[in-house]
Amino acid sequence: MGTIIETNNLRAYYITKAYGVERTVKAVDDITLRIQEGEVYGIAGESGCGKSTLLRVLLNAYEPPLTVVGGEVIYHLDGERVDAADMTEEHQRDLRWRTISYIPQGSMHVLNPVRRIRDSFHDFISAHRDVSKSESFELTANYLRDLGLPEKVMASYPHQLSGGMRQRVTIALATILWPKLIFADEPTTALDVVVQRGVIQMLKDVQQKEGSTLILITHDIGVHANLADRIAILYAGKLVEEAATQTILENPRHPYTRFLIESLPSLDSREERLSIPGRPPALDRPPSGCRFHERCPLAMDICKTIEPALIEIAPKHFTACHVVEEELSHASAV
């Protein structure tokens, strides 16, 4: 299985100009990713770390003020290498939903309130396939049945469905044409845990049925633990650690990842969880050196001035931290 999407030194900034004052928010700064065909790739991090911005750029659906100032996004589709920046509007529209699709946040109202569910499906299907209304209805009915959704939602209006059902219908709507590459942005947020479970199971089913690639963005490490094969941890627009899910959960190396994992509640211990000290930095003036140094209890002098590089500390385990780097060099010296 090869790479399906990659980014090389991607930088995407929000550049705004108001009353002559230019403001640049470095939401995605120098990120390099390789996502394999058929895997579930999780992107985690706290609010404001650039997760959704990264997704917008990966999806090639962004508008000013968000601007890609450096690097590239490359798709590998059907053996063809496509640079997102060179894609024509037509090619782009052609890829959407058939090849690349997007599942929005559970709290978003993406279903037209005055249109029956089946008509929304027809709108989305007929935009990409030459089908009659009855053909799309049949396609929709079969797909919903496969996913275990009641057939009566077809004739319903969105307001008649519960939040969880709406999100499941949205997932079905996003994946009805069996896209190869599915982006999901906080698909379980704003749903209660019981409903979350069902939605996670459904995402799993959808992904496994055709072996699609799922890029899952959420701040909820629990959801990642359930779904993702690999996890990338984002902090202040930077990729700070990337490894297989198991490794991230059991052997996190970057101090920020450790804080994230340690703050998870567990059934075994009932003690109070520590929160990460401080708050995330403002991205219009990010800290010098390692962006985490202000909140990091292990910070050394070098962390304040020099930006750590992303290095492979174990097979397929990457992290960007001076402390880890130094530990490793000591270990190898001994």
Partner 1 sequence: MNLLRTYILPRLLQWVMVVFVGITATFLIPRLSPVNPVDEMLARMTAFQSMDPDSFAAMRESTIALFGLDKSPIEQYITYWSRLLQGDLGPSFGNFPRPVSDIIATALPWTIGLLGTATAISWTSGVLLGALAGYYHNRRWAQVIERFVVVAYPIPYLIIAFVLILIFAAWLQWFPLVGGARGDPGFNWEYISSLLYFGFLPALSIVIGATAFRFIMAKSLTTTEIASDYVQYAELAAVPKRKIMLYYVARNTMLPQVTDLALSLGAIFEGALITEVVFAYPGIGFITYNAIYNGDYNVIMGVTLLSIVGIATASLLIDLLYPVFDPRVRLR
Q: What residue ranges bind partner 1 (CB under 8 A)? A: 59, 61, 92-94, 96-97, 101-102, 104, 108-115, 119, 123-124, 127-128, 157, 159
Least Å distance, CB 176 to partner 1, is 10
Question: Distance (Å, rounded) from C-alpha 155 to C-alpha 141?
Answer: 11
CB of 95: closest distance to partner 1 in angstroms? 9
| Nearer of residues 94 and 192 to partner 1, judged by Cβ | 94
Distance in Å from the first CA to the final CA of the chain: 39
| Alpha helices (runs of H) in the chain, residue ranges in sequence order | 51-58, 89-95, 117-126, 133-146, 163-175, 193-210, 221-227, 245-250, 255-262, 301-305, 322-333
Kindly tell me which of 121 and 235 has the beta carbon lying closer to partner 1.
121
Minimum gap (Å) between residue 190 Cβ and partner 1: 13
Q: Residue 111 or 290: which CB sits closer to partner 1?
A: 111
Task: Find the shortest distance in angstroms from Cβ 62 to partner 1.
Answer: 11
Query: Which one, 185 or 242, has the nearer CB to partner 1?
Result: 185
Q: For the chain, give me the number of helices (H) and strands (E)?
A: 11, 12
Residue whose CB is less far from partner 1, 122 or 238: 122
CA 305, 307, 312, 318 torsion: positive or negative?
A: positive
User: Please, what is the minimum distance in Å from the beta carbon of residue 71 to partner 1?
Assistant: 23
What is the distance, to the nearest Å, from the Cα of residue 244 to the centroid of all Cα atoms in its chain? 15
